[in-house]
Structure 1
């Protein structure tokens, strides 16, 4: 066995996709896809055809075929390779069945860089029935489960019935990478593993990545000797076996299985939303091989189960999410109708507590602390407020192990092990805090998770998987149920509505009055400068130019032309000054709204924004365009900013998709601008409309971080509302609601 330093990070760095060996139950040949010359071959081919492997290196595939004694037509391997070169994938080819010296074999085609890989493995196994014919009935039994747990139990039962391994487990990965056995069917003589947890190092990160692309994995016999792969090329360029069925197993994992008493294993990947949800892990306590068809049938069941997992998980979440949404909708009504913010948030049937799954919530507003549900006492809340003031960097902060970060909270961890805080005003230290209680959890590990490796008995620095799998129970304290993305999203949305209500209903903006007054005074000074210091000399220039034209008859045509241009230029300058003065007055004056033809406005903006973009690179759709009332220039600026952003941030999607449409309701007309671009990280939700704030993932896009701040000010000036929904890698939708 290879030696490794005792360092857990070795497991994550081990190049398991290029082991340089294959398992012994089959043999491998890699052929250059253009020349059909053999470039790699497994050393154990001699055990199948009694000819040394090196004899075939550098030889055409026909040379190997002449030794294989393949029944039937000649040049079958050459024809198979030609078929592979002309296929988009190998699904229609695999497995290719042949008979070699009266023995049935399956050829499995994969690729690796410039090579086509032919893997020869036995075409039969110990399953004495047609596995594929049983799939329909098995899938029906699996999907009959009414909830997620029953679905998983049914899957374990049906898989065991199909492939007859001694133990079949449903193994789920948690967020930190560690695994848990959530369903199990086993032979009666075996001890149960159900409910046991396994450290993340048992299945390291690069192995989990391979499970996402290679959906099944068989280890036929842990005691067999792997066969080396030979090549006449550079020995430092190993063959990539990431997609291989015969790929040899890490010696660390082999030892791990031996320590468990497992002689062979088979696994099927379970994916949910493109990520590795878990595995169907099958163990056998004697050597075991099942054919490609049996594995492929199992893979199909895994794919069907993966789809069902997504659906059932979302179905079980729907009821809870619906309750949160309903509470948020009710709370929004109270915020709009009530004159007093604190009462709107705390005194009705739906309160701020109800938009999350928290046990309690606290509103700190207008120098008053309002408590709802189960919360720390006021003295403890004051301490938490001081801690948050020093440690809360953004407008939203959340953790599910608060007592580990703020040690005094360990005295009331049963109330506040999880907190979610939302800042309303940093200057006034006004905010909302939600609390989740401690969830004491006894996690039973298969062995001590802090000792996933052991030192060799001879004392050498050799990485060995742990030998003891005796149940080891760990009590997790000071931790609550995690805050979900839905809870955070609703808090962010509610914060925007609360701030909008504060700005709309307050006679003066608190703490900003002095700054606002100073801004108006500076604006007045600017207006005076334009009107006095600029317009007066311009008038003088114009007057003298007109006098020269009227009284001086001796001027030649060239001089008259110059003076005429001076007069025209001063008129143009005066008009420009008037327009600037009119714009500066918008900060003080109410908007005189006029009906805007939105179809015409949006079409003009679209034509301007998409100019120079090839039509095939952008799908731009304008839906219904109900007219609204507002300042056309300002509204045009709002939609120009939003549409520009949508086009810009979706430019790397293929194709980019942007849609603008409006829906006229009884009280409001709501416009949306949707793209399929980068999306916004949930941690930036509260900062989107702040001046000069930009996300990390848009640093290579042009922009200043000013546009959305301007959009929000114009929207507020029109007594309208703006909000958004977004997901990373999915896209963003901005909504603007104008009052009818």
Structure 2
């Protein structure tokens, strides 16, 4: 069902990156999910802390394992291999690298094989163990062929949306999840779904925006330490660590690097409201920044093999590289085009007697260089205009306001009415302003205008109800509707791109240089 929100006023771009959600210490909850177990070892590889589900997965009570050397349970050769990997990890200059391996755990005549990930830290070593299911593993050849095909399709896609859609399609086919979403974060950390593959009975989320509070800051930060986040079954019972306090650190164990880390109850409630029982998310990281997520949903419990998860981690890296390469190509192309136009304008500027004529009448001109709807040059008491602009008197009043309120050489906004309410009268031609100061003390400026562009934002549920607080002010719940919720943003222009701002600043310097030459 579609809901329509009130029209948003200028400057009301709301920050949904909740400080409250972002302050919850997700890494210090001292609980793990039950599909694996956790060992905490000291530097001598003695077991100092263990998850209480060792009784089910190992057949031994915590007291029978604690204070025992790992060597008492693991074959000598496997222990040597583990120690070698730990040594290599510690020598990697603090670069985060997971160490997957296979480990046989012997208990009272029984042997169980686990897939193990080790996390060496300054004072301790965390060992995550999941029961191995080798009979489900695909042959190396079949596995390699699938990865090769998926990689090829991702590389063939030729724009951001096509790459995202290819990733969603292939992840769904490869993993069997009911729905796979690829969504991209904006500058406010809201995420918009730009790729989707799903079964017919799953809701359609393509094109919808999710508020930043859905993936708060501390959860985003953890993606730099964890290659993925897996919740195989929403209705699990969390497993405690024993003893409660870590004997090595004398506090709760920091589970930042652990994939088994338990999930906040509010997120499990969120999954229930969304109608899913299992989820897995993989980050898309570009140039050290979190660009977006690949989010997988399933209606029933689902436990991808370690092999599948490793493949998803690899494929997400390949997708991030391809997305990054495409965006670099686009930026390079835009910069090259703008440099060509700027060079032509620069030549005109120094050939022409009057810089105003060069900027407004040349080919290319100021409007073409910066994609403007109109421009005005205030110089030596005159107002020169081009394209769609406010009335001359209003332009003079705007320059006076700039002189009083802006000390910057360049002033830029895509919502002028927010800062200067008088401009609402001419929002159609000047909701966006880029002002280049020539001689601000004399009210001399180059003013670049962009008109209002009404924008409809399609949210997945009402973002103002993303968090519902209890009367106690401490407990809270996620929203229970993800239906289309529309907002109309008014009194704003198209945003100014970084390349445009750089070109404008360079042009301002060139104009000042010409003026100085002419006068002195």
Deviations 1:522-548 (A, max 9, x none): xxxxxxxxxxxxxxxxxxxxxxxxxxx
Contact 1:360 1:371 in 2 (8 A): yes
**C-alpha contact 1:325 1:355 (8 A) present in aligned 2:** no
Q: Is the 8 A contact 1:339 1:505 kept in 2?
A: no
1:280 shift after superposition: 0.6
CA shift, 1:359, in A, is: 2.1
* Contact 2:86 2:120 (8 Å CA) reproduced: no
Q: Deviations over 1:255-284 (max 9, x none)?
A: 111111111111111122221110010001
Partner SS state of residue 328, structure 1 = helix
C-alpha distance in structure 1 between counterparts of 2:510 and 2:347, whole Å: 10
Give the alignment's TM-score, normalised by structure 2. 0.89
Match of 2:11 in 1: none
> Which of 477, 482, 485 is residue 464 of structure 1 equivalent to?
477
Distance of 2:134 and 2:193 partners within structure 1: 28
Residue 98 of structure 1 and its aligned partner are, at CA, apart by: 3.9
Q: Describe how 1:238-253 pairs up with structure 2 within 5 A.
A: 238-253=252-267
Q: How many Å apart are 1:291 and its aligned residue?
A: 2.0
Note the residue ranges of structure 1 that are not aligned, 5 or more in a row. Answer: 1-6, 509-740
Task: Say whether 1:478 aligns with 2:491.
Answer: yes
2:234 to 222, 227, 233: 222
d(CA) in 2 for partners of 1:234, 1:244 = 17
Q: Mapping of 1:142-153 within 5 angstroms? A: 142-153=154-165
Q: Are positions 1:105 and 2:114 aligned together?
A: yes
The equivalent position to 2:53 in structure 1, one of 39, 44, 59, is 44
CA shift for structure 1 position 140:
0.3
- What displacement does 1:125 show? 8.3
Task: Write the distance in 2 (CA, Å) between the matches of 1:407 and 1:267.
Answer: 44
1:500 and 2:520 matched: no
Structure 2 Cα separation of the partners of residues 22 and 81 of structure 1: 25
Which residue of the other structure, out of 341, 352, 357, is the alignment partner of 2:355? 341
User: What TM-score comes out, normalization by structure 1 length?
Assistant: 0.63
1:398 and 2:412 aligned? yes
C-alpha deviation, 1:450, in angstroms: 1.0
8 Å contact 1:125–1:290 — kept in the other structure?
no
Q: Name 1:723's counterpart in structure 2.
A: none
Aligned position for 1:731: none
Q: 1:82: Cα distance to partner?
A: 4.5
- Counterpart of 1:118 in structure 2 is 127
Please give the secondary structure, in 2, of the residue aligned with 1:95.
strand
Q: 1:137 offset after TM fit, Å?
A: 0.7
Partners in 2 of 1:79 and 1:305 — Cα distance?
A: 32
What is the CA deviation profile of residues 354-390 of structure 1, one whole-angstrom value per residue up to 9, with x for unaligned ones? Answer: 3312222211112111112222221321222122112
Counterpart for residue 371 of structure 1? 385
Q: Does structure 2 conserve the Cα–Cα contact (< 8 Å) formed by 1:218 and 1:245?
A: yes
Q: 1:39 to 1:92 in 2, by over 3 A?
A: closer
CA RMSD of aligned residues (A): 2.3
Tell me, in whole angstroms, the C-alpha distance in 1 between the residues paired with 2:207 and 2:321: 24
- Displacement after TM superposition at 1:459 (Å): 7.8
Deviations 1:375-419 (A, max 9, x none): 222132122212211211211111111112212222322221111
Q: String of CA shifts for 1:206-235, please: whole Å, max 9, x gaps.
A: 111111332211111110111112245278
Alignment of 1:197-208 (within 5 A): 197-208=209-220
Quickly say closer, same or farther: Cα 1:477–1:125, change in 2 above 3 A. farther
Query: Rg bigger for which structure?
Result: 1
How far apart in 2 are the matches of 1:422 and 1:460? 47
Say which SS state the counterpart of residue 463 (structure 2) adopts: coil
Structure 2 match to 1:140: 152
| CA shift in 2, pair 1:174/1:460, >3 Å | closer
1:66-85 matched pairs, under 5 angstroms: 73-74=75-76, 76-77=78-79, 79-85=81-87
CA contact (8 A) 1:132 1:293 kept: no
For 1:57, which of 38, 59, 66 is the aligned residue? 66
- How many angstroms does 1:186 deviate by? 0.1
Match of 2:41 among 22, 31, 44: 31
Q: Is the 8 A contact 2:78 2:103 kept in 1?
A: no
Contact 2:98 2:119 in 1 (8 A): no
SS in 2 for 1:372: strand
Q: Residue 18 of structure 2 contacts residue 212 of structure 2 at CA under 8 Å; is this kept in 1?
A: no
Q: Which residue of 1 aligns with 2:3?
A: none
Q: Is the 8 A contact 1:62 1:75 kept in 2?
A: no
Aligned length in residues: 492
Instruction: Name the SS of the counterpart of 1:419 in structure 2.
Output: strand
Provide the C-alpha distance between the structure 2 equivalents of 1:418 and 1:281, rounded to a whole number of angstroms. 35
Q: Secondary structure at the match of 1:59?
A: coil
Paired residues for 1:554-565 under 5 Å: none
- Bigger shift: residues 154-163 or 482-491: 482-491
